[in-house]
């Protein structure tokens, strides 16, 4: 029985590398596949973001849900919590995230000997910041009433810029680092770190009462969708160039 169990374990262990190898072969042979999947994910994020923005703009049921959730958070909010989250919220501030994107991009340029990581990281932060600003101007959603210990935040509420910046840049950094790592545990740790930083930025905005829950989830969808779209353009462009080259020499 033990031998049979060992055989089964070995079989499953052999299957995993085989599946991974086959997937890499497919993506290397047909790079447009990863680009198409990325565009699909980005489109789903855009659809979710548009639906949420419509709810906020038309004062749909999500607005009442926001109000109730903020009331629940207010019941457990305390001065020490505000002090802690006032520091943690900086992980999503543009003054922190954009310089971090530039530094990470420069380090990856030296490692990969290509300018594309720096371009992608700067585009992820600057691009999502522009999208946030445009959407805020269109939706023009007021922020929740300011808390005495927090102060008044400038600008409109939807979507959360902190959440969008964190989602876009930390995800971009993680996805650019993954190919350089060996071992599933290291890759999982990098992805979990990106998720944790993004979640921290999102939660901080709700705890501090400067954003409604739908604001931060809107920022999440916008940030993820934008970053995935940027990463999808490269394999699609490469596939298009190869196709044009073949047609030109046919």
Distance CA 138, CA 130 (A): 12
Would 157 be classed as within a structural domain? yes
The SS3 call for residue 91 is: helix
- Residue 29: the pLDDT is 57
Q: Is residue 29 part of a domain?
A: no
Digit-coded pLDDT (tens) for 216-227: 999 999 999 999
Q: Comparing C-alpha atoms, which of 86, 74, 58, 51 is closest to residue 162?
A: 86
For residue 24, being part of any structural domain is answered with no
- Cα dihedral sign, 207-210-215-221: negative
The yes-or-no verdict on residue 81 having pLDDT over 50 is yes
Q: Is the pLDDT of residue 165 over 70?
A: yes
Q: What is the pLDDT of residues 187-242, one digit of tens each?
A: 999 999 999 999 999 999 999 999 999 999 999 999 999 999 999 887 666 655 55
Range of the domain at 124: 34-248
Residue 10 lies in a domain: no
Q: Tell me if 122 is assigned to some domain.
A: yes
Residue 19 covered by a domain: no
Domain for residue 28, yes or no?
Answer: no
Q: Return mean pLDDT, the chain.
A: 85
Residue 17, pLDDT > 60, answer no
Tokens of 9: 């374990």
Element spanning 196, H or E: helix 184-207
- Average of per-residue pLDDT across 87-106: 96
Q: What is the pLDDT of residue 234?
A: 78
Q: How many domains does the chain have?
A: 1
- Report the predicted TM-score, pTM, of the whole model to 2 decimal places: 0.82
- Within a domain: residue 5? no
- Check if the beta carbon of residue 80 is closer than 8 Å to that of residue 149: no
The domain that holds 157 is classified in CATH as 1.20.144
Least confident of 25-29, 77-81, 172-176, 208-212: 25-29
């Amino acid at each position: 029985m033990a031998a049979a169990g060992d055989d089964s374990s070995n079989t499953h262990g052999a299957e995993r590398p085989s599946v991974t190898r086959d997937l890499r072969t497919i993506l290397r042979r047909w790079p447009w596949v990863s680009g198409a999947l990325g565009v699909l994910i980005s489109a789903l994020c855009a659809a979710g973001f548009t639906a949420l923005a419509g709810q906020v703009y038309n004062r749909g049921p999500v607005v009442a849900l926001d109000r109730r959730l903020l009331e629940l958070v207010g019941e457990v909010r305390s001065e020490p919590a505000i002090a802690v989250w006032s520091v943690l919220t900086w992980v999503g501030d543009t003054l922190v995230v954009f310089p971090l994107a530039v530094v990470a991009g420069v380090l990856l340029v030296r490692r990969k000997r290509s300018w594309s990581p720096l371009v992608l990281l700067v585009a992820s932060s600057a691009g999502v910041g522009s999208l946030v600003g445009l959407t805020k101007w269109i939706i023009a959603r007021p922020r929740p009433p300011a808390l005495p210990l927090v102060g008044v935040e400038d600008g409109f509420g939807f979507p959360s810029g902190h959440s969008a910046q964190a989602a876009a840049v930390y995800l971009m950094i993680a996805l650019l680092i993954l190919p350089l790592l060996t071992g599933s545990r290291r890759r999982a740790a990098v992805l979990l770190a990106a998720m944790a930083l993004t979640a921290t930025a999102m939660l901080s905005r709700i705890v501090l009462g400067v954003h409604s829950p739908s604001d931060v989830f809107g920022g999440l969808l916008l940030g993820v969708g934008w970053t995935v779209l940027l990463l999808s353009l490269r394999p699609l462009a490469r596939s298009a160039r190869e196709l044009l080259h073949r047609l030109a020499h046919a």
